[in-house]
Structure 1
Amino acid sequence: MPAGSPRPLQQPPRAERRTLLARHFVEAVEPLLEAGETYADISVERLIKAVDISRSTFYVYFDDKGDLLGAMAQDVTRDLAEAGSGWFEFPVDATKDDLREAIRPLFETYRRHQLLLGAITEAAAYDPRVREQHLALVGQAVDGLKAQIQLQQRAGGAPAELDAQRTALWLTWMHERGLYQMVPSASAREVHKLLDAMVDLVWRTLYAGFHD
């Protein structure tokens, strides 16, 4: 390279480009699902047109539609993990109202991505790659909630006799199944009631009698 010549801009690593592209696909696919289409019926051609890339570029980063769905699952997982961080960092001296504010972002994030998350859940039944991403999502939530329960137990804010791992498993899967089954068809008012019921359930299971 001649002296004084500008250095060529370095391209981000392939994994980073795949992640960025998956986010673009999330933003493009969700309106198609909202319009009534199913992910299974959306062709690769429709997908690549929606984000304005070539077919060859698509296959550089994704093996097929199932692989893309797995990548989008990873992207949405990050949103859900961020939404759940308030609960996983719930302070020992917090109130039931604080718990509601900590859990509320999970409901809001699920509502925002509910159709795509539904497609991920359905595809997980037959596509092992998507199932792996789906289970990873649940596993991250279980780990975060288990750590929260153990933190509360050490501080005397949750029953010492609770099995932190299995309690976290039950609560996480109840959240996951409940959000999938009840939230998509619920009105805004009903979502608030569902949130209140979940907060009451969690509060009574983990915190009641210790934070009052």
Structure 2
Amino acid sequence: MSPRAGTVGSRRRPSKGDLTSQAILDTAERLLQTRSLDDIAVDELASGAGISRSTFYFHFASREAVLHALSGAILDAVYEAAQAWLRRGNEPPEDSIRRALGATLALWRKHGPVLRAAVRARDTDPLMREFWTGVARRFIDATASQITLERAAGTAPPGPAAKSLATALVSMNEQAFLTRSHTRRSTARDRALVDTLTHIWLRSIYST
């Protein structure tokens, strides 16, 4: 099932509108497993959710808006996974980075078709491009802040400008996970990717 629509972090019981929106999102994610967004009609999204076309437009302005909502919920989950390192406390850097990367790869594996559709859409859809720019900025700023904190604490040595380093690392992660999400699942290869990325992050930030 897709991440919950509009109710993440809320304890209230989902309303009928919430459930309808979620049904649309679930239908979209299911259809994106085998087809591109351009090949999915609004009527199919409405039918899959058990609603009329007019009701669909009460919840979403377009197919692109559905993709935007799906991507936003998934990327919020990716950001939450990153907290393993961003708020590592006393956990060793290697362990926290490995946990964060492993959880992120798992989300790309689970929701790869949606995230790949969003990546394709950013090349043609100005709103999706703006959305991805904001997502990237969020990850880069958080990573740069953590690098700065690690250096101030003496855990990490001085190095390249924190924001430049963060930009390179975040961009590397996105490309690596995007590429891996296209491939057949392999526990061994996925573990090797996480090991490699962990090594690069450790060497880049901590020189270890």
TM range, smaller chain: 0.7 to 0.9
What amino acid is the match of 2:27? A
Change (3 A) 1:116 1:208: same
Alpha-carbon separation, structure 2, partners of 1:207 and 1:45: 52
Residues in 1 aligned to 2:111 and 2:181: alpha-carbon distance in whole angstroms: 11
**Residue 177 of structure 1, CA deviation:** 1.4
Which residue does 2:130 correspond to in 1?
Answer: 132
Change (3 A) 1:161 1:74: same
Counterparts in 2 of 1:171 and 1:92: CA distance versus 1, 3 Å:
farther
- SS at structure 2 position matched to 1:113: helix
Residue correspondence of structure 1 range 15-34 to structure 2 within 5 A: 23-34=22-33
Offset from partner CA, 1:159-191 (integer Å, 9 cap, x none): 223311111111111111111123321432211
116-125 vs 79-88, greater mean Cα deviation? 79-88
For structure 1, list consecutive stretches of 5 or more residues without a partner in the other structure.
1-15
The residue number in structure 1 matching 2:158 is 160
The aligned length equals 193
1:43 maps to what in 2?
41
Distance 1:71 1:166 in 2: 29
Residue by residue over 1:91-128, the C-alpha shift from the partner in whole angstroms, topping out at 9 and shown as x without a partner, is 36614234212321111111111110000000111011
Among 137, 145, 148, the alignment partner of 1:147 is: 145
Q: TM-score, normalised by structure 1?
A: 0.81
Is the CA contact 2:85–2:96 (under 8 Å) kept in the aligned structure 1? no
Alignment correspondent of 1:7: none
Compute the TM-score of the two structures, normalised by the length of structure 2. 0.83
Deviation readout 1:72-93 (Å, 9 max, x if unpaired):
2222221111111112123366
Aligned ranges for residues 50-129 of structure 1 at < 5 Å? Answer: 50-91=48-89, 94-129=92-127
Q: What is the CA deviation profile of residues 124-169 of structure 1, one whole-angstrom value per residue up to 9, with x for unaligned ones?
A: 1101111122222222111221121111111111122331111111
Q: Secondary structure at the match of 1:119?
A: helix
State whether residues 84 and 96 of structure 2, in contact with CA within 8 Å, keep that contact through their aligned partners in structure 1: no
The 2-side partners of 1:93 and 1:119 are apart by 35
Q: Is the 8 A contact 2:21 2:59 kept in 1?
A: no
Q: Is the 8 A contact 2:157 2:207 kept in 1?
A: no
CA 1:18–1:113 in 2, change beyond 3 Å: closer, same or farther?
A: farther
Do the aligned residues in 1 keep the contact of 2:85 with 2:93 (CA within 8 Å)? no
Letter in 2 for 1:197: T
| Greater radius of gyration (CA) | 1
Runs of 4+ in 1 over 6 A off after TM superposition: 16-20
Where in structure 2 are there 5+ consecutive unaligned residues? Answer: 1-14
State the match for 2:5 in structure 1: none
Matched residue, 1:194: 193
Cα RMSD, aligned residues only: 2.3
